[in-house]
Each structure stands twice: as structure tokens, then as C-alpha cells.
Structure 1
Amino acid sequence: MPPAYVKPYVKRQKNDTTDAEAICEAVTRPNMRFVPTKTVAQQSCLMLHRARHLFIRQQTAVINSIRAYLAEFGIVAPVGRRGVEQLLEVVADTTDCRLPEVGRVCLAALGSQLRALKAQILEFDRRIIAWHRSSATSKRLDAIPGVGPALATALVASIADPKAFRSGRDFSAWVGLVPKQNSSGGKDKLGRISKQGDRYLRSLFTAGALAVIRYAKIHGTGHRPWLTGLLARRPTKVVAIALANKLARMAWAMMVRNECYKEPAALTA
């Protein structure tokens, strides 16, 4: 059971006794939701994604540190990968007098750590691609616009049983791509997305939706009337969340029915 669903049954204070009593009470509820057990392969793939995500965060932290330390000596570079390479070239140049020796040693160590992180991320990318090619469901999901090998493998690894969700909306709500409700008295009040659910999957779905929108803006949106109309009425990021919700429902339907991706009728016309 998700811990958040057990918490309301906890009485005063928190200890092992009250926690066990709350679990026993929650497990008897007829509408309680349970988490299906993942296979060893699914858990291993999730470890790949989590470790890769950790390395990416560490890589960002190291890059920011290199930029900040060099900026203190008045050495700056453009934003992007090329800018970081220019800064590392300055660190490697022993004839550059702007950088003291002690600072050069520290920055050289950070540069070595950055290169090691990049190599590890590339290795994990190769392993994720290999896992993707070995999974028939992952290859089917890869055909959805905006869904690549990273999102496809994360979906297959995260969802032990897609039939545990009653509908595509339930699945998108589990990911955290539906509006937050504050309804009362028969009046529906919808706000922003709740930010609950699986943060990693939500970020991948949003990135995929933004990629579809960016491609549509460059090559034209005439073949996607639904997306065209929404972009005319709403900001890009709001459209991205709506499209991510749509992609999540497509992915759930394909996993439940074991079907391949089919172009909607509006796109084939």
C-alpha cells in the first residue's frame, strides 16, 4: 500500500504500534489501492533510470561549480556544452596567469569528475537502449510521438500491471498529469496539476510533449488540428501538460490491449 494512504489511519503520535494498527485498519478497507510487485527485470531497469538521473544531477552540480569558481576570477564562457569545454581548456592551460595554481588543481579535479560522470551517463544510456530493444512492449511504446526509449523503458519498468488502472485517466492521475481539484457544493474547481504521482515519469512525459510541440511549430501544425487549436488558445507549457496527459492515456491503452500505435484519423486525413 502507498504510505500516503495509510497515514490517515494513524492515530495520535507515531510509533511502531500505532503504525501497525493503521496498516491493519487500512488493509481492510474495500477501496484501498495496493502496489503490484515488480519483477526483478523491472526493478533492475528502474535502478538504471534512477542511477542515471542521479549522475545527471551531479553533472549539473559540477558544471555549475566550475562556472562559479572561474567567474570569481573573472573567467566566463557562453552557456552550453561548448562553454564548459572552453573553461576546461583555460584550466588545462598552465600558461594562463589569471588562475592561481591552487585553484587550477581544484578545478582540474572537478573537470576529471565531470568527464567520469559523462562517461558513466553514456554507459547507462547504452544499457537503457539495450533493455529497450529486448522488450517488445517498450518497442511498441516507442512509436508514440514524443515517447523515446527512455520513457518507454521507464513505463514498462514502473508499471507492474497496467490493468490495475481502470482507465487512462486513472493512469494519468497516477503519474500526476491531471488538474488539482478544490470542488465543493457540486461546483467543479480545477487548478494546476497536483504535482503528486511519479515525478520522474511526469518529467519525461512533459519533455516528450514539448518536443512534439517544438517539432510542430517548426514543420507546421496543420496535420494536428487538436494541437493547433490548443496552441492558439493556451500558453505553450499548458498545452504541453495537456499533450502529456494525452500521451499517457495512449501509452496505457497500448499496454493494456497489447496493440501497436495507430495514427489518429485526424492525422491520416
Structure 2
Amino acid sequence: MKVTTVGIDLAKNVFQIHGVSEFGKPLIKKQLRRNQMAEFFVNLPPCLVGMEACGSAHHWARKLQAMGHTVKLMAAQFVKPYVKTNKNDAADAEAICEAVTRPNMRFVPIKNVEQQSVLLLHRARQGFVKARTAQANQIRGMLSEFGLIIPLGIRHIANHVPELIEDASNVLPGSFRLLIERLLNHLKELDRQVDELESQIVAWHRQSEASSKLARIPGIGPITASALVASLGDAKSFDSGRQVAAWLGLVPKQHSSGGRQNLLGISKRGDSYLRTLLIHGARSVVLRASLKSDPNRTCSWINDVVNRRNKNVAAVALANKNARIAWALLTHDRRYEAGYIASKASA
């Protein structure tokens, strides 16, 4: 009998393989070392291969596709219900093999090398930003032990701390002054790393036509646009803009029963980094909308939401709207026009 579907439980060194026929009969149950994977699948007739979207999944997906296989990636939480017994590698591979054949399964778009490299730049930048914030808070906490309070905001660290450690009237030990100076140098180095990575991201953004289109949307800049393009991959893999917003966790979480609708806060599913960028960008638009004396259609809509609810709800609503607009621009290959919806509605 011919193997038609294969489930792979990915790992660092040992991979569990589970293959079945078109009738669901198990034909392959084995473990493979990393150096055996290519040899095994190049000799296997083309079939459907399922994997969880985890570490190295996109790498193996591209490699197996080049061998003629049809590869589909799934989120781990969608595979978990198909695990029949206790969790182990064999049970996970069997669950993946079964889940990939479900007609209503949701799949993760496979990213190419360029998209992955851009996302890694974003992840590295995010790590340096977190380290910079932690370093600034450490300096602020150490100085507070001596009664020296720094105003909130990371920019005040560089503006006020050098003056404090140079002030001879402060009862600060010499060793402590040297320590703070060392931490300040570390903070400057982290700041430099963030700026360099951001420059690389902006350079890629300027070369990408799709990313440049998204940057024209109010509330989306080069950082958010490049992250959206690299994360979405092929936007046509999503059925609608609403599905993109749900994928990013920008829609209400439901707890409904008995025909009674009960909507909670946003679900916060998907990529928290991308969702945070969209919401922070929307906050700036909400702020500008409140300052304009002659608001346009978008500004009036935002102000209406702010008056009915609050600024946080308006920011999330605009982030949801921007995600749907981004999907429409990428799917239909259009450029953003501020009055596009208004002109269509009036027509």
C-alpha cells in the first residue's frame, strides 16, 4: 500500500514519523535522526506532510516542498485535541497525521527565507528593547536607594543620571559612581544596537513594495509594515480581513451559550508582538484625531468611538480596522487611498 499522509513531530535531533495510507491504515512508525530526514523523504513518493508550526518548521517545510511533497503547518493548539493517549513523540506524530487531513483545519502560511530573516531582525530588536528597559529600571532602582529619584521615561536616564553622579554634593561612594557609569555605558550600547537593527529593518522596508504600501495606512509605520508583510506571508491564504484580525487576537473573545451572546475583551491570540505594534500605532492616530480642528472621516469616526467608549477601545478598534485594510491592500494589490471607502459609499 502507498503512503499518502505523513505526520512529523519535529525536534532538535530525533524526529518521529507516522505515515498512513489513503484508508488511514498505519504504514510507517519510526524515529529518524536529523541527518536521516532528507534521505528518507527524497525516496518517499510525493505525499501530504503535516507538521506543527514550531522551531525549524518553516525550514523543513521548504526543504520537503522542494522534494515534491505537499507540506502544511498547523498551530500546536489545533493539534492537541487529536492526541488520544498520554503525550509522547509517537502519539504527537499520529495526532499531527490525523489533524492535517481534517477539512476544517486552519493552516499556517509557509514563510520564505527572506520573510524569516526579517522577522528575526524584529525578534532581535525586541530583545534589545526589553534589555534596554530592564537596564534603565535597574539604574533608576539603584539610585532610588540613595534617595535620588529619576522622572519616568527612559530618556530621563541619559539626561539626569550623568549630572547626578558628577555632583559632588551627593553622598555617593566612589565605587557606586563607577558602577552607575558602567551601567550607563551598557545602556548606550543597547540603544545603539536597537538603532542599528531598526535601520536594517527600515532599509528592507524601503526595498519592499508591499511594505511600502502598508506604511501609507495611518497608524502603520516601517516597523509595523515590515512585520505585517513578513508575518502574513501570502495574504491570500486568509479568506478575509476579519480572519486576519481574529488571527492577531484583535476581536472580542466569546463565552456564549443557549443563544445568548456574551462578548468579553479581545482574545489576544496570535502574535503578541504584531498586535502590540498595531495598537501602539493606533494610539498615535487616536491622539492626533483629538487635536485636529477639522477632522476628516477617519478622525470623526475615531472621536465618535472615544466619546461612546474610551481611548483604549478606540485604539483597538482602529488596530482591527488597519489589519483588515492591510489584508485588502496585499490581496488585491492596491494602494491605500484615504477617501476610498467614502467615495464608494457616496457612489
TM-score interval w.r.t. the shorter chain? over 0.9
In structure 2, the partner of 1:134 is 207
Residue 248 in structure 1 maps to residue 312 in structure 2 = no
Q: Deviations over 1:8-66 (max 9, x none)?
A: 11233211111112111211211112222211111111011111111000000000000
2: distance between equivalents of 1:219 and 1:173? 31
Cα pair 1:9 1:25 within 8 Å, conserved = yes
CA contact (8 A) 2:305 2:313 kept: no
How far is 1:265 from its partner?
5.3
List alignment gaps of at least 5 residues for structure 1. none
Cα deviation, residue 245, structure 1:
0.6
Q: Secondary structure of 1:144's partner?
A: coil
Aligned to 1:2: 75
Pick one of 147, 160, 170 that aligns with 1:74. 147
Q: Which residue number in structure 2 is paired with residue 17 of structure 1?
A: 90
Compare the two structures and name the one with the higher strand fraction: 2
| Distance in 2 of aligned mates of 1:109 and 1:51 | 23
Larger Rg: 2
Report whether the alignment pairs 1:88 with 2:162.
yes
**How far did residue 125 of structure 1 move?**
1.3
Cα distance in structure 2, aligned partners of 1:212 and 1:163:
28
Contact 1:221–1:227 at 8 Å: present in 2 too? no
Q: Which letter does structure 1 place at the counterpart of 2:224?
A: L
1:169 and 2:230 are equivalent in the alignment? no
**Corresponding residue to 2:336 among 256, 261, 266:** 261
Query: Is residue 7–residue 22 contact of structure 1 (8 Å, CA) maintained in 2?
Result: yes
Q: Judge conservation of contact 2:80–2:95 (CA < 8 Å) in 1.
A: yes
Question: Which residue in 2 is equivalent to 1:44?
Answer: 117
Name the CA distance, whole Å, in 2 between partners of 1:192 and 1:160: 28
Q: CA 1:43–1:266 in 2, change beyond 3 Å: closer, same or farther?
A: closer
Which of 182, 192, 197 matches 1:119?
192
Residues 222, 228 of structure 1: 8 Å contact kept: no
Paired positions, count = 268
Structure 1 residue 101: Cα displacement: 2.4
For normalisation by structure 2, the TM-score amounts to: 0.74
1:109 equivalent to 2:210? Answer: no
Instruction: Check whether the contact 1:76–1:87 (CA below 8 A) recurs between aligned residues.
Output: no
SS in 2 for 1:253: helix
- Counterpart CA distance in 1 for 2:110 and 2:155 is 44
Q: Which amino acid aligns with 1:200?
A: Y
Name the SS of the counterpart of 1:11 in structure 2.
coil
Q: 1:227 to 1:21 in 2, by over 3 A?
A: same
Could you state the TM-score of these two structures normalised by the residue count of structure 1? 0.94
What is the distance in 2 between the residues matched to 1:221 and 1:235?
21
Please tell me whether the aligned partners of residues 290 and 303 of structure 2 are also in contact (alpha carbons under 8 angstroms): no
Farther-moved stretch of structure 1 (132-141 vs 33-42)? 33-42
User: Cα gap change, 1:97/1:188 in structure 2, threshold over 3 Å: closer, same or farther?
Assistant: closer
Q: Return 5+ residue gaps in structure 2 as ranges.
A: 1-73
Runs of 4 or more above 4 Å deviation: 265-269
Show the counterpart of 1:218.
291
Q: Write the distance in 1 (CA, Å) between the matches of 2:105 and 2:306.
A: 39
Q: Distance in 2 between matches of 1:252 and 1:266?
A: 15
Equivalents in 1 of 2:156, 2:304: separation in Å? Answer: 39
In angstroms, what is the RMSD of aligned CA positions?
1.8
SS at match of 1:180: strand
On the 8 A contact 1:223/1:266 being kept in 2, the answer is no
